[in-house]
Homo-oligomer: A and B are copies of this chain.
Amino acid sequence: MDEEWLDIGEVAARSGLAPSALRFYEKRGLIEALGRNGLRRTYRPDVLERLALISCARGAGFTIAEITRFLVADPDDSGLRDRMAAKALELDLRIAQLDRLRASLRHAATCTHEPLVECPEFKRAVGAVAAATAL
């Protein structure tokens, strides 16, 4: 143990991803294998960090293609930081939107209007979310 590589099964177990997902990511250029142990892919241990980054970005709504663009960027890709800054701005909007939606849900969860969809406060809140979405 304590080898300088991890078997795909090991990576799958530690990352919580299925081997099929790892192969899928490889096909998409998100990760690459170090080599093979027989037929089995082996990975450098730091692939786990990369997978954490990928999962985190996926969870935030980035597509595989977007993540690939971030990860395979040339070190001298001056556009990378710009794209990240742009993504941060997108997140600002998204977070604000979710905040409003959460407020609507919280009101809905406690208000006593029947039916809920007729609650004026709820309708107002939904209207605010919708108006912001349209922009």
Contacts and interface: CB of A to CB of B under 8 A. Distances in A.
Contacts of A109: 81-82, 84-85, 88
Interface of A: 16, 49-50, 52-53, 55-57, 59-60, 71, 75-76, 80-82, 84-85, 87-88, 91-92, 94-95, 97-99, 101-102, 104-106, 108-110, 114-117, 123, 126-127, 129-130, 133-134
Given A97-B60, A129-B56, A75 B105 contact: no
A77 B53 CA distance: 41
A42 B104 CA distance: 29
B110 A102 contact: no
A50 B126 CA distance: 9
A130 B97 contact: no
Contact of A110 (B52, B55, B76, B81): B81
A117 B114 CA distance: 52
Given A59-B133, A130-B56, A102 B108 contact: no
A82 B50 CA distance: 38
B126 A53 contact: yes
A37 B56 CA distance: 49
Contacts of A133: 55-56, 59
A123 B53 CA distance: 8
